[in-house]
Amino acid sequence: MPRPSPGWARSPLVSPRRTDVTVTSGGLPRRAATAAIVGPGNIGTDLMFKLLRRSDWITPRWMIGVDPTSDGLRRAASIGLTASAEGVDWLLAQDELPDIVFECTSAKAHAANAPRYEAAGIVAIDLTPAAVGPYCCPPVNLDLNLDAMNFNMITCGGQATTPVVAAVSRVVPVPYAEIVASIASKSAGPGTRANIDEFTETTATALEVVGGADKGKAIIILNPVEPPMKMRNTVFCAIPPEAAEPGPLQDQLNQSIFAMRDTVREYVPGYSFRADPQYDHARDTWNGMARVAVFVEVIGRGDYLPDYAGNLDIITAAAARVGDLVVEHRQGATGIPAGAVSTPASSTSSTSSTSNAAQPTGAQA
């Protein structure tokens, strides 16, 4: 049986903030927690760069896949991660295990892997629509159980639109919310395409469970236009008739919506509105309800893919943020001085690491 890593959850040592981070001889930063990324496709590779460049608490140490020609595995090995094409079986057989696994494969794969991670004492942050753990949207439900062993990041569309629905529902009742997520076809890898049904189901449920709508519906469009379009999301919320009329209630709604936008932009700078919220008066065909429409655009930071892949950027940024929050919570970091670091990260690549480049593939993207 593999022995657990001497991780952050069991150690009094804490990582300094990023300005004080030291680096191992192999080039990886020393931080309080170690992580494995399972799935070296578009999302997994983008997440790797986000953690390396911006995480305060987490060092990615392992990149795990099943295709030895994966470009993501090659890139990970080239910058010092241990990269293996032998899958989760290989990872769980190691003497030292990661503190956190970021699952970037598919909903079916995570449903199978999740019990194994928990049995090994590894926290799982799930970037697939599997929804094994609680739905997690950083600007909305930070009061979630940070001691859980599995966190679901909903979907890219869920991360972009659930905050808007939540911003509306904290002011007025929302009996129905509908979102349409439009993304560039080039930004959608095999994982995304294999998870279309799970995407719509998980996103719609998150609009209800996290967003606060009584009923949710989600639609995704993969647009093949050239040049590739930026990610755009249209959010429709049914609202009481009086909220669609100019006045104090509508002002309160607008204030809530724009405040939520600013909160999301703290970790996704490319998150913006294409226009001010648009209000439609009540109609009989809407069961006497009025409607507010919000038009969201997400431009990626370009950590791995071009800026049109905002759908990747928002879910990887959210996952990295949740990972930091989980580690910080379990460290009890408030008031602890910087200076101590966890066990140095090894940068030696495994024998299954590859050096031949291929086009980015696979995983949930």
Active site residues: 156
CB 250 within 8 A of CB 290: no
Report how far residue 97's alpha carbon sits from residue 91's, in angstroms, rounded to the nearest whole number: 7
CB 212 within 8 A of CB 205: no
CB 337 within 8 A of CB 9: no
Radius of gyration, alpha carbons of the chain: 21
CA 144 from centre of chain:
15
Report how far residue 292's alpha carbon sits from residue 263's, in angstroms, rounded to the nearest whole number: 20
> Does residue 362 come out as left (phi exceeding 0), alpha (psi in the -120 to 50 range) or beta?
left
Going by C-beta distance under 8 Å and a sequence separation of 6 or more, which residues neighbour residue 71? 40, 45, 357, 358, 359, 360, 361
Going by C-beta distance under 8 Å and a sequence separation of 6 or more, which residues neighbour residue 63? 36, 37, 40, 44, 48, 72, 73, 76, 77, 81, 82, 83, 84
Cis peptide before 228 (omega within 30 of 0): no
CB 364 within 8 A of CB 39: yes
Report how far residue 147's alpha carbon sits from residue 324's, in angstroms, rounded to the nearest whole number: 13
Q: Residue 289 gets which letter from DSSP? A: -
Q: 242: helix, coil or strand? A: helix
Report how far residue 103's alpha carbon sits from residue 113's, in angstroms, rounded to the nearest whole number: 9
Joined together, the tokens standing for residue 110 give 């995570």
